[in-house]
């Protein structure tokens, strides 16, 4: 796909920022499980924390294609940070943009789009992952307030976020009984029970968040009562585009490292890249990566043109996430024993990319969506 001059400039700006503000620190963040506050501040100054939000509300309103290009560049430097940025820009910012009142947008979305406040998305629960309609967290209305009680699981930035988009049950109806709320995380009753010990992406914490008699004013209801399920689903496409972009960024980094290594390392009196087995593997990696980019850029372009892209977003997410795992695995094989060492970056990329086929809808959920779209 041919990029416009503006898109190339945005991509290059993101690449330069990642080179200066992210790449030199990514390994240390991961080893020490340090939240990358300084990088988020740099991204905020560049306008990358409100990429899909209009300037009138503090954002930069990039196209979806430009958005995924930025996420790719961040992911090439650090997969964990790309998750934080993707979640904030998509499933945290967009629900308020699309369903919030003017007052909610001014109070919450403007500082989020400027990067002054960080957002998180509280949908999954210990017994409700892929089946979002099974959530048990309750919001009981008392006068002009709601009392929130329940547990949310796998909340990206749940510990460090300032604003949470929370989904809770307001009636017994399976889907129509779910409502959405804007919850400042400094509200009494918002508690981080624990941060999970994960395989990878150690700089991006995922938290178990507990709500204990947390009082929310009615003015923090997002959309109408009972619209929560619709709000949750309406923003998943943008999240899946973000995950596809993350996957592509990490896979691109793995391929670049492999190419450089294969052009320098010798075995049996030849460069690795001169061995047919290695060159074939590199060819497959590059081909799969290129195919994933075309799927993603096509889906993003559909979204930019206000056309349906549920199937295409799921295809991009499915293929890119599984492709990235294969590419990273093959990259480690090219490096041999060195690829397995923590002194080299590939083992971290491999661990970081593994979650891409799980969050924002597992691969099987994406296949289910694609199958339904094909046969409806």
CATH code of the domain containing 254:
1.20.140.10
Q: Are residues 138 and 90 in the same domain?
A: no
Residue 1 has pLDDT above 80, yes or no: no
Distance CA 222, CA 285 (A): 44
Q: Are residues 255 and 350 in the same domain?
A: yes
Q: Are residues 104 and 134 in the same domain?
A: no
Angle at 207 between CA 367 and CA 328, to 5 degrees: 50
* 173: containing domain: 119-232
Known active-site residue 322: no
The residue-averaged pLDDT of 74-90 equals 98
pLDDT in the model for residue 130: 80
Q: Are residues 31 and 58 in the same domain?
A: yes
CB 126 within 8 A of CB 153: yes
Q: What is the mean pLDDT of the chain?
A: 97
In tens, the pLDDT along 284-308 reads 999 999 999 999 999 999 999 999 9
Residue 199's CATH number: 2.40.110.10
Its pTM stands at 0.95
Parallel, antiparallel or unpaired: strands 190-195 and 145-156: unpaired
CB 138 within 8 A of CB 150: yes
In tens, the pLDDT along 171-218 reads 999 889 999 999 999 999 999 999 999 999 999 999 999 999 999 999
The residue-averaged pLDDT of 121-133 equals 89
Distance CA 363, CA 319 (A): 9
Q: Are residues 82 and 107 in the same domain?
A: yes
DSSP code string of 304-327: HTT---HHHHHHHHHHHHHHHHHH
Tally of structural domains, the chain: 3
Q: Are residues 367 and 241 in the same domain?
A: yes
pLDDT in the model for residue 266: 87
The residue-averaged pLDDT of 329-355 equals 96
Q: Are residues 370 and 241 in the same domain?
A: yes
Residue 9 has pLDDT above 80, yes or no: yes
Residue 162 has pLDDT above 90, yes or no: yes
pLDDT in the model for residue 132: 83
Q: Are residues 181 and 135 in the same domain?
A: yes
pLDDT in the model for residue 370: 98
pLDDT in the model for residue 327: 98
Options 12, 322, 360, 373, the catalytic residue: 360
Of residues 235 and 188, which shows the higher confidence score? 188
Distance CA 258, CA 136 (A): 46
Please report which confidence band the pLDDT of residue 234 belongs to, taking 50, 70 and 90 as the band edges: confident
Domain end, chosen from 113, 136, 157, is at 113
Please report which confidence band the pLDDT of residue 129 belongs to, taking 50, 70 and 90 as the band edges: confident
Distance CA 315, CA 370 (A): 7
pLDDT in the model for residue 314: 98
pLDDT in the model for residue 205: 96
CB 216 within 8 A of CB 148: yes
């Amino acid at each position: 796909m041919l990029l416009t001059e503006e898109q190339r400039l945005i991509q290059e700006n993101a690449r330069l920022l990642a080179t200066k503000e992210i790449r030199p620190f990514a390994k240390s963040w991961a080893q020490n499980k340090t939240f990358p506050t300084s990088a988020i501040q740099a991204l905020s100054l560049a306008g990358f924390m409100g990429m899909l939000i209009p300037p009138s509300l503090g954002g930069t309103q990039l196209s979806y294609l430009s958005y995924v290009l930025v996420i790719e560049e961040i992911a090439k430097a650090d997969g964990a940070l790309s998750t934080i940025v993707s979640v904030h820009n998509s499933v945290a910012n967009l629900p308020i943009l699309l369903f919030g009142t003017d007052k909610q947008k001014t109070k919450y979305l403007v500082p989020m789009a400027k990067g002054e406040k960080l957002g998180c998305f509280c949908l999954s629960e210990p017994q409700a992952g892929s089946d979002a309609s099974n959530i048990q967290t309750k919001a009981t209305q008392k006068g002009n307030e709601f009392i929130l009680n329940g547990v949310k699981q796998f909340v990206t930035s749940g510990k460090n976020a300032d604003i949470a988009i929370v989904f809770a049950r307001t009636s017994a109806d399976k889907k129509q009984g779910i409502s959405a709320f804007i919850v400042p995380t400094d509200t009494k009753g918002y508690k981080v029970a624990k941060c999970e010990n994960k395989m990878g992406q150690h700089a991006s914490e995922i938290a178990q968040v507990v709500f204990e008699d947390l009082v929310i004013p009615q003015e923090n209801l997002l959309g109408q009562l009972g619209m929560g399920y619709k709000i949750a689903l309406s923003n998943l496409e943008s999240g899946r585009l973000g995950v596809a972009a993350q996957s592509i960024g990490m896979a691109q980094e793995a391929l670049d490292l492999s190419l450089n290594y294969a052009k320098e390392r010798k075995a049996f009196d030849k460069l690795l890249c001169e061995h047919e087995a290695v060159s074939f593997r590199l060819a497959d990696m590059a081909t799969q990566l290129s195919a994933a980019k075309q799927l993603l850029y096509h889906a993003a372009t559909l979204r930019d043109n206000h056309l349906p892209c549920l199937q295409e977003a799921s295809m991009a997410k499915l293929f890119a996430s599984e492709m990235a795992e294969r590419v990273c695995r093959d990259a480690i094989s090219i490096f041999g024993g060195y690829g397995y060492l923590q002194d080299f970056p590939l083992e971290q990329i491999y661990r970081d990319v593994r979650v891409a086929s799980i969050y924002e809808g597992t691969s099987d959920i994406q296949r289910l969506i694609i199958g339904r779209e094909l046969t409806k």
